[in-house]
Structure 1
């Protein structure tokens, strides 16, 4: 269970990193639109697990690798922005958030599911 402070810091990181990605690191994304879907903080607020969603991405893994290679720069820019709000600037770990794709697969499975109609009650009574 996340504490209130963890949730506050997570939301702040999500907002600030979104702005940083759009303003400073747009060239890394090769025309893709990167969204931060969630941030999970460790209880000591030293590590933030950042989950990313990609739209119009040709190669998500390559973009993720590029982001991971620039983690120090991203952390530095974030640190300058959040230094008055946080005592410790967290380290970031970036992951692909595939929950939307998973949900779409489940939706497709349900859409293609063929369920035969239930037998009429009259047919059951005549047996």
Structure 2
């Protein structure tokens, strides 16, 4: 379970990384909108897992790999933004946040179940 300190630091990282991607994200991924959906920080605040959502891209795995290849540069820019607020600038690891895909898949399953129930109720009513 995350401590309040971890949550506050994660919120700061999320806000600052969002600003970095908003201003300079086109340099890494042209014509792609990157959203930071969640940041998880280790208890010692030295490692941050950053979950990204991509809009207007065909290959999310390639996009996250591209962002990971620029992790050092992004960390440097983050460091220059939070140097007065943090003692240590965390190592950044970027991951794809597939929550939206999961929600869509679950919605499709529930719609299918609802349709099957409706079809079964109609067939029972005809008997």
- TM above 0.5, one fold? yes
Matching of residue 7 in structure 1 with residue 11 in structure 2: no
Output the CA distance in 2 between the equivalents of 1:75 and 1:27. 15
Aligned residues: 120
1:60-81, Cα deviation, whole Å (9 max, x unpaired): 1221111111111000000010
SS of equivalent residue, structure 1 residue 40: strand
The offset of 1:85, in angstroms, is 0.4
The offset of 1:117, in angstroms, is 2.9
In structure 2, the partner of 1:21 is 21
Which of the pair has more CA radius of gyration? 1
Normalising to structure 1: TM-score of the pair?
Answer: 0.89
| Coordinate RMSD, CA, aligned | 1.5
Matching of residue 117 in structure 1 with residue 121 in structure 2: yes
**Higher alpha-carbon deviation: 19-28 or 30-39:** 19-28
Output the CA distance in 1 between the equivalents of 2:30 and 2:61. 12
Higher helix share: 2
* Structure 1: tracts of 5 or more residues without a match: 121-127
* Structure 2: tracts of 5 or more residues without a match: none
Output the CA distance in 2 between the equivalents of 1:106 and 1:62. 25
Matching of residue 105 in structure 1 with residue 108 in structure 2: no
**Higher alpha-carbon deviation: 60-69 or 13-22:** 60-69
